[in-house]
Amino acid sequence: MLQLLKCYSERRCIWFFIALTGFCFLLIALYFQYILLISPCVLCIYQRCAFLGLIGASLLAAIYPKSLLRHLGILLWIYSAAKGLQFAWEQVKIQSDPSPFHSCVLLMDFPSWLSLDKWLPFLFAPYSDCASQQWQLMSLDMAQCLIGIFAIYLFIGGIILISQFVKPGRHHLS
């Protein structure tokens, strides 16, 4: 199984598929923002950045998946998924115990050389408080759903990372 995963990780189509899933989640976020009129908070924007990290990691690995770029892409993928999970978890904590002493900031904290909220405000500007729960699916709010999504990305990334240390067997696919 791990040999098969390693073999698949050396193919571009898998990396493009992972980038496509991240892109779809960004489109869903924009659908929620502009069609359903659910305003994003600071932590929502940071989670969007985590999806951008997943997309970037996948495209980096897709450049030449049989090289060291694949390993760099996997590490960036795991980091992005872990950060997305961290932000989603923080948002759930804020929503489960709303308090003026435990809330998120209202302004983005991007570095000055990467002011995404000023360059692309339609995608990266926050308009809401992190404590507000504006949407639910089967009694799960958006942040809880994102915990599951980022956990799946993290789990798959971890398995793919482990598979990189497996030596190919006799049935190695080319």
Is 24 an active-site residue? Answer: no
Do residues 158 and 79 lie in contact, with contact meaning Cβ atoms separated by under 8 Å?
no
DSSP state for residue 134 in the 8-state scheme: -
Do residues 44 and 28 lie in contact, with contact meaning Cβ atoms separated by under 8 Å?
no
Instruction: Give CA torsion, residues 153, 159, 165, 168, to 10 deg.
Output: -110
Which residues have CB under 8 Å from 32's CB, separation 6+? 38, 40, 135, 142
Pick the catalytic residue from 7, 24, 130, 170. Answer: 130
Is 145 an active-site residue? Answer: no
Instruction: Give CA torsion, residues 47, 41, 130, 38, to 10 deg.
Output: -110
Pick the catalytic residue from 7, 44, 49, 70. Answer: 44
Is 41 an active-site residue? Answer: yes
Pick the catalytic residue from 7, 48, 49, 70. Answer: 48
Residues with catalytic roles: 41, 44, 48, 104, 130
